[in-house]
């Protein structure tokens, strides 16, 4: 059995449900995710900006392969997840694939960003 046939995979939406440019929000298997077309493929990401947890469905601007959060202008390459410009953390992607015109993701574990990159939770002060 391939990964895509694993029971942890869930259908997010039809590819046709996605705008040509921009992020769309979906609830799937108890998760909130954002999906976007990227060339002939798709990317599915957590709903928050890795910087300060801004909801990207409102603040995320897509231009070509670049995603920009308008709150503090962090940017990423939406195809690779790599940072551009002043961003300091890459995007996380859910494992995804297109199957019969639908977008499927591995929803077995929720992706989240570490907002305690200073590890202050453990800092004695």
Q: Which is nearer to other proteins, 77 or 102 (CB)?
A: 77
Among 61, 79, 95, 97, binds other proteins (CB under 8 A): 61
- What does the H/E/C string look like for 95-120? CEEEECCEEEEECCCCCCCCCCCCCH
125 contributes a contact to other proteins by CB under 8 A: yes
Distance separating alpha carbons of residues 100 and 117, to the nearest angstrom: 40
Distance separating alpha carbons of residues 9 and 5, to the nearest angstrom: 7
Q: Which is nearer to other proteins, 75 or 102 (CB)?
A: 75
Q: Which is nearer to other proteins, 10 or 68 (CB)?
A: 68
Stretch that binds other proteins, among 6-14, 32-40, 61-69, 100-108 (CB under 8 A): 61-69
The neighbouring-strand residues paired with 31 are: 28
């Amino acid at each position: 059995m391939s990964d895509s046939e694993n029971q942890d995979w869930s259908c997010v939406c039809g590819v046709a449900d996605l705008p040509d440019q921009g992020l769309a929000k979906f609830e799937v298997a108890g998760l909130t995710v954002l999906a976007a077309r990227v060339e002939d493929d798709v990317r599915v990401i957590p709903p928050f900006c890795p910087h300060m947890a801004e909801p990207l469905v409102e603040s995320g601007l897509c231009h070509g392969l670049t995603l920009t959060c308008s709150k503090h202008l962090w940017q990423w390459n939406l195809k690779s997840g790599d940072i551009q410009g002043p961003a300091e953390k890459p995007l996380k992607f859910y494992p995804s694939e297109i199957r019969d015109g639908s977008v499927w993701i591995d929803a077995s574990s929720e992706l989240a960003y570490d907002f305690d990159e200073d590890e202050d939770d453990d800092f004695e002060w």
